[in-house]
């Protein structure tokens, strides 16, 4: 049964979305170890940090991690000792498919309970801020029968985030969502960044599982119907085999674009301060790493000589830079990246070209 947590006093399941084989993190990420399993220079991976955060409001029995089947071993090395469940998709089909899959699984196991969905790629400095925002969004979703979202105050124009337009405050710390725009063009993003009512979408949302499935059946029948047809599932083996039959034909679309941007149900946003960082690329990863007095991040067996603002990322292979500043050096057995800081927006395209050439 679903546990009733003392802090929220309602049945609830936390869903951690841990997908993504992101070329933008090359060479740190790979097909065998994608972004969720990258360490933050503090001894823990993005997935482990996300689990730590959700454990501040939920018990292990109330948490499920959804990721790719090819990451089963590396995932269960983390989840099994904690008593956390894991679900697997046979291939990536973006966040709409995996969210709907997880919601259907939760509905089968626990009925129309409450869910809170969290992406794995956040770095949050202050745990109490996270806890308060999550609990507030959960109560907003339940008390006002809608989707409770968490918004981050914008710091600059970006085409890589969704934007939430907040309306009137309807409860303490909760505002009505007047509009949701997923990853606008740079012109619109620049306008939104100047307006106080717009926030970045954190990707965290809470709602009743029946509500998100109702929206999915209306807005994304090409995703919902094939997955719904698989349930109820008799066993884990049945689940894996059945998914492998339908998953290749599912459209690839984000939950933000497919549902949140078009939802008819009420939506609410809990504004949060900017201590949150969405780890979108190597530059944002660098922004949360510990630094020395010269703003260098240097592993124990590496050196920075006559340089400042240098970040070295990778395994324990020694790296030495001389006379370089404002650069990131990332290395693994897949290759080496030397990049001026602020240029990570180009990594995915350049690495994609290298993949086409057969170099990677």
> Is 360:26 a contact under the CB 8 Å cutoff?
yes
Helices (H), the chain: 46-54, 72-79, 94-110, 127-143, 186-193, 209-219, 221-228, 236-246, 255, 282-287, 347-356
> Is 100:117 a contact under the CB 8 Å cutoff?
no
Q: For residue 297, what are its two tokens?
A: 């991040």
Does the predicted TM-score (pTM) go above 0.75? Answer: yes
Packing angle of the helix pair 46-54, 72-79 (nearest 10 deg): 40
The tens-digit pLDDT sequence of the chain (360 residues) is 343 444 556 789 999 999 876 778 899 988 778 889 988 666 789 999 999 999 999 999 999 999 999 999 999 999 999 999 999 999 999 999 999 999 999 999 999 899 999 999 888 888 888 888 999 999 999 999 999 999 998 888 888 889 999 999 999 899 999 999 888 899 999 999 899 899 999 999 999 999 999 999 999 999 999 999 888 765 666 777 889 999 999 999 999 999 999 999 999 999 987 678 888 889 989 998 999 999 999 999 999 999 999 999 988 899 999 999 999 999 998 899 999 999 998 998 999 899 899 888
CATH 3.90.550.10 fits 12-145+203-265, yes or no: yes
Distance CA 20, CA 26 (A): 12
> Residue 232's CB: how many other CB atoms inside 10 A?
9
Distance CA 122, CA 280 (A): 9
Taking the CA atoms of the chain, what radius of gyration do you get in angstroms?
21
Q: Where are the domains of the chain?
A: 12-145+203-265, 283-356
């Amino acid at each position: 049964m679903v546990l009733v947590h003392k802090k929220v006093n309602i049945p609830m399941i936390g869903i951690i979305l841990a997908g993504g084989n992101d070329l933008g993190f090359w060479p740190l990420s790979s097909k065998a170890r994608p972004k969720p399993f990258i360490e933050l220079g503090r001894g823990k991976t993005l997935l482990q940090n996300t689990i730590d955060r959700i454990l501040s409001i939920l018990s292990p029995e109330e948490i499920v991690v959804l990721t790719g089947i090819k990451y089963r071993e590396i995932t269960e090395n983390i989840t099994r000792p904690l008593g956390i469940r894991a679900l697997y998709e046979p291939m990536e089909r973006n966040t709409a498919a995996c969210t709907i899959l997880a919601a259907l699984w939760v509905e089968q196991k626990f009925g129309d309970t409450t869910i809170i969905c969290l992406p794995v790629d956040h770095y949050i400095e202050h745990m109490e801020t996270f806890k308060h925002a999550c609990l507030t969004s959960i109560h907003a979703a339940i008390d006002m029968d809608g989707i409770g979202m968490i918004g981050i105050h914008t710091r600059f124009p970006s085409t890589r985030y969704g934007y939430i337009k907040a309306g009137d405050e309807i409860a303490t710390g909760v505002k009505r969502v007047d509009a949701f725009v997923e990853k606008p063009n740079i012109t619109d993003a620049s306008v939104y960044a100047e307006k106080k009512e717009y926030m970045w979408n954190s990707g965290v949302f809470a709602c009743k599982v029946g509500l998100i499935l109702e929206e999915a059946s209306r807005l994304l029948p090409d995703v919902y119907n094939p997955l719904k047809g698989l349930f109820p599932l008799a066993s884990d083996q049945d689940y894996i085999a059945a998914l492998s039959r339908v998953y290749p034909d599912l459209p690839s679309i984000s939950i933000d674009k497919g549902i949140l941007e078009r939802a008819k149900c009420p939506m609410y946003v809990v504004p949060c301060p900017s201590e949150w960082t969405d780890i979108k690329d190597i530059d944002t990863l660098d922004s949360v790493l510990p630094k020395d007095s010269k703003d260098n991040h240097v592993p124990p067996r590496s050196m920075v000589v006559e340089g400042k603002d240098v970040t070295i990322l990778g395994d324990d292979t020694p790296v030495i830079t001389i006379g370089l500043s404002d650069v990131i050096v990332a290395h693994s057995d897949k290759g080496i990246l030397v990049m001026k800081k602020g240029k990570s927006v180009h990594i995915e395209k350049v690495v994609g070209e290298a993949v086409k050439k057969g170099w990677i």
